[in-house]
Chains A and B, each alone.
Chain A
Amino acid sequence: MPPIVPSPMNDHERGPSRRTLLTGAAGLAGLGLLTLTGCTSGARSTTIPEGAATGIAARGGRLRIARPAASAAETLDSASSLSAYEYLGALYNRLVKQNQAGETVADLAEEWNATPDGTTWTFRLRKGVRFHNGKTFTAADAIASIEHILDPKTASPQGGVLGDMLDKNSMSAPDPYTLRFDLTKPNAEFPSLLTAYQCYIVPAGEIATIGTTGIGTGPFKLSSFAPAGSGSVEAFDDHFAGRPALDGIDFSSIQDTTARVNALLAGQIDLISQTNLDFATARVVSASSRATVARVKNAQWYTIPMLATSTEFKDPMVRQAMKFAYDPKVIVATALQGTGSPGWDNPVPPTLAAFDDDRRVYDPDKARALLKKAGRSGMKTSIYTSSYESVFTPMAVAYRDQVKAAGIDLTVRNASSDSYYTEIWMQKPLMVSYWFTGRPIDQLLNQIFRTGSSYNESAWSNTTFDGLLDDARATMNDDRRRMLYQDAQRLIIEDGADMTPMFGDRLVGISRDVVNYREFGFEFDYLRIGLRK
């Protein structure tokens, strides 16, 4: 029988030969070279700019913002936990807002005062404010908006906070421009709770459909919106504080961080929102000819919650040991490359007036001794992290390296970023987490540390602490109230289950054409932000 197949020896000898293989290696190297030389942005700059460019924005222009979508079910209803954060400040206003120093300042309300016992608050509202649909803003709209937050069906994260002191009969409008709150219990910090980004005011008649219409009094009005998709807003000429510098803003949702950065580097967008760039990426961005980095000082509050209900951390001695065992300065140096400040387990950022500057010590020996006393010498457990935020993994790794000296053996585990806050957060004994800073002191302590609060990520419960918060709310004297808040901070440092290793600067990627980018109190400065050309 004749051979049916080709003469084999020839074939495999002539297959990819050594020569071709070498060429292959060269090809691979060439690929690398192409990448290196093909890029305009080299590693020229080693420093990261301190702040965003300021200057006079050209009138007009459209800003393009890339954002990670909250969910496929995200909504423009600010009261919802799935609100599309970036749109809110553009579309709506609150009664009061926070300035950069964390003070409560006027927005739709012009001034406010309380009875000496702190139970009745009266807000005088701004006149002549128009909604995007032409209607005039009155107290009725404010009442309807806050009732919407309180409505259990809305399941608003702020519902519980306000519901603690407000009920259906609490709000009244003696006249269209006066709004009165009769609190069920005194609260000296009540106005600050209305600065939350759930408390935007919408027209009374539009609440049912607000999630898609986005009608507010803000500097921009909605022209299109798709959940987890793209959307646009246009300058609102009748805005009470004047027309914004920009003609409009186009939002697009990009879930993958690298994709957002690539879009910025390629000049497809002008600003990456809700994204803290990691150090290496920040260097790439600041070295690029199109883009740069703006630092928002101490904007990121990083935490390591220890679940106080878990067998690992229900013992306060173990929790103390976990704190004494690490030096926050090293974590800032490693995980943030110095772009932040150490927190020493005090959750209150140094910029807030009520900040207590007593500092705990770093003492690994004491940590070791405490663990021994608790019968947990050489304790082993896992610390969970995720690519959800760029600093999570470096922080978890740095923390693990730090506590080794105290004989604590941690395994760093990576969890998927999209289910991190549903599967890991408040479920696993030890994980890393973060918040935006910008909460007023009362909200910060009550929302994240009070027993049973839905945001109490460490499930810590301390009745003395809760009592201090109640006392503070009932204390109208500012100095005395500040002292109570400082006592509360010390209690968190000593007994609390939520560690605060550091506050990080947010490294925001922006186009070199963007001027006057500022972000504080959970809002962009949408009036002034603009483009150079």
Chain B
Amino acid sequence: MTVLTTVLRRIGTAILTIVLASLFVFLAIQLLPGDVAQQLLGQNATPDAVKALRESLGLDQNVWLRYGNWLIGAAHGDFGTSLVSGDPVGPSLFVAFRNSMLIAVPAMLIGVTVSLTLGVVAGVRRGRASDHVISLISLVVMSVPEFMVATVLVLVFAIAIPVFPAVVLRGSDATVLQLLPSVWLPMIVLTLAMAAYIVRTARSSTIDVMASEFITTAELKGLSTRQIVWRHAVPSALLPTLNVVALNVAWLLGGVVVVENVFNYPGMGKLMLESVFNRDLPTIQAIALLSALIYVVCNLAADLVALALDPRLRTRQRGRRARPRGTARRPAALAAASAGPATADTATATAGTSSARKDRA
């Protein structure tokens, strides 16, 4: 199989996943108890009014037809109308998404840079004081829930020493510029929570690499530690980290919900909480679909980047031959897995996806 077919196959799978996810989301929402029309009308739900509304909402149509219409609409950015505000879901979702990206993307970039560095440092200096300190802090940080970190940060940096605003005063009508003073604390919370996992992944993959044959060879060849770290440790720590980041996307949304709730930040997490509270089904559907899309795209990107970076993944022949290599990767995967929730799926990515890929390659 050529690289091209692998790539095409991977993209095909991604599209299939999205379609399946959209179907699940749609059907799950249909299965929820309670009639949407009845809910909308509330006290005015006379049988005639319910019937009329059902017709105008298209609820009397076949469920598959409605699914098709919804999916086609969604593909054009039309997610229907919010049950609460009566406005189209699309624009408000877009604004919320943009606002969330404003804290999530910097959090991700800072988180990856800082924690990759720390992880590699800890891995290279395994067993020394700096490793202990880094490992310990990451362990503690990932064991304290985000809502606590957020609460403490507000108390310290907004109330006791007022350097940052405690909450965002403006709603979804805020412009990016108006939001800027308020993004810092939410960003720090997200960064901290995510960084802890990446530190641990990066550390264990560095440890793996540093003990592997080719590092020994490199050492024999007389390369300096600095060169070894830059040429081998960092690139190989990067791969699993990429996977962690990609898989973190789904989890990041959970963190975003908590953070946006605490800081009153007008992003997707807050929109999600509100639409769940209000049972605003079209908005919930749209958020679910958008999140699934982001998740799949990020994972696709991570896989493709991994493919581009790692020649072994491209050139490896029938996987069953490559057993020793494969098992060698396992402990790394397991160690990564133990790093926590996000990296749990790294095990998937390395032990799962790559084995799936190599088996089919």
Instruction: Please list the residues of chain A having a beta carbon within 8 angstroms of any beta carbon in chain B.
Output: 1-2, 4-8, 10-11, 14-17, 19-21, 23-24, 27-28, 31, 34-35, 38-41, 64, 66, 69, 71-73, 155, 226-230, 252-256, 258-260, 262-263, 265-269, 416-419, 422, 454
Contact = CB atoms under 8 A, between A and B. Distances in A.
Interface string B161-185: 1100111011111100000000000
Given A34-B156, A72-B84, A5 B331 contact: yes
B171 A228 contact: yes
Nearest to A37: B160
Interface string B255-287: 000000111100000000010011100000000
A252 B162 contact: no
A66 to B, nearest CB: 7
Given A2-B213, A5-B328, A20 B135 contact: yes
B208 interface: yes
B167 A263 contact: yes
Contacts of B152: 31, 34-35
B210 A6 contact: yes
A16 B139 CA distance: 9
For chain B, the bracket of interface size reads 35 or more
Contacts of B173: 226, 229-230
A213 B160 CA distance: 40
Given A28-B140, A262-B166, A226 B158 contact: no
A259 B277 contact: no
A39 B277 contact: no
A422 to B, nearest CB: 7
Contacts of A230: 169-171, 173-174
B44 to A, nearest CB: 8
Nearest to B210: A6
A255 B264 contact: yes
Contacts of B277: 416-419
Interface in B67-87: 82, 84-86
Contacts of B3: none
A263 B84 contact: no
Contact of A40 (B160, B167, B169, B261): B160
B156 A35 contact: yes
B162 A266 contact: yes
Contacts of A262: 154, 158-159, 166-167
Given A6-B207, A268-B165, A252 B170 contact: yes
B212 interface: yes
Nearest to B154: A262
Contacts of B132: 16-17, 19-20
Contact of A38 (B42, B137, B160, B327): B160
Interface in B292-327: 324-325, 327
B195 to A, nearest CB: 16
Contacts, number: 149
5 contacts: A14-B127, A252-B171, A260-B167, A262-B158, A263-B165
B278 A419 contact: yes
Contacts of A71: 84-85, 278
A4 B166 contact: no
Q: Chain B binding site: helix, strand, loop or mixed by DSSP?
A: helix
Contacts of A416: 277
B172 to A, nearest CB: 6
A416 B275 CA distance: 12
B169 A252 contact: yes
B135 A16 contact: yes
B123 to A, nearest CB: 10
Contacts of A10: 127
Nearest to B126: A14
B200 to A, nearest CB: 11
A68 to B, nearest CB: 11
B156 A227 contact: no
Contact of A229 (B155, B172, B261, B325): B172
B65 to A, nearest CB: 29
B211 interface: yes
B43 interface: yes
Contacts of A258: 262
A38 B157 CA distance: 9
Contacts of B172: 226, 228-229
A28 B140 CA distance: 8
Interface of B: 42-44, 82, 84-86, 126-127, 131-133, 135-137, 139-140, 144, 152, 154-156, 158-162, 165-167, 169-174, 207-208, 210-213, 261-264, 274, 277-279, 324-325, 327-328, 331
Contacts of A39: 155-156, 159-160
B347 to A, nearest CB: 15
B166 A266 contact: yes
A422 B42 CA distance: 8
A98 B250 CA distance: 53
A417 B144 CA distance: 26
B208 A255 contact: no
Contacts of A14: 126-127, 131
Contacts of A252: 169-171
B43 A253 contact: no
B274 A38 contact: no
Given A6-B208, A256-B261, A266 B165 contact: yes
A224 to B, nearest CB: 9
Nearest to B82: A72
Nearest to A3: B211
A69 B266 CA distance: 13
A310 to B, nearest CB: 18
B7 to A, nearest CB: 29
A92 to B, nearest CB: 23
Nearest to B209: A6
B82 to A, nearest CB: 7
Contact of B139 (A24, A72, A227, A263): A24
Nearest to B265: A259
B211 A24 contact: no
A72 B277 CA distance: 12
Nearest to A229: B171
A280 to B, nearest CB: 15
A259 B264 contact: yes
Contact of A227 (B43, B85, B207): B85
A154 B194 CA distance: 49
A259 to B, nearest CB: 4
A34 B210 CA distance: 38
Contact of A4 (B213, B263, B264): B213
Residue in B86, B158, B171, B263 whose Cβ sees the most chain A Cβ within 10 Å:
B171
A73 B82 CA distance: 10
Contacts of B85: 71-73, 227
A454 B211 contact: no
B170 A254 contact: no
B142 to A, nearest CB: 12
Contacts of B84: 71-73
A71 B85 CA distance: 8
A71 B139 CA distance: 41
Given A71-B84, A226-B173, A266 B158 contact: yes
Contact of B155 (A2, A35, A422): A35
Given A71-B278, A418-B274, 8 more contacts: A27-B137, A31-B144, A229-B170, A229-B174, A254-B169, A263-B264, A266-B165, A419-B278
Contacts of A11: 126, 207
Contacts of A15: 135
Q: Which 7 pairs across A and B sit closest by C-beta, in order of nearness?
A: A229-B171, A418-B277, A6-B211, A266-B166, A252-B169, A226-B173, A4-B328
Contacts of B279: 419
Contacts of A229: 170-174
Contacts of A40: 159-160
Contact of B169 (A34, A72, A263): A263
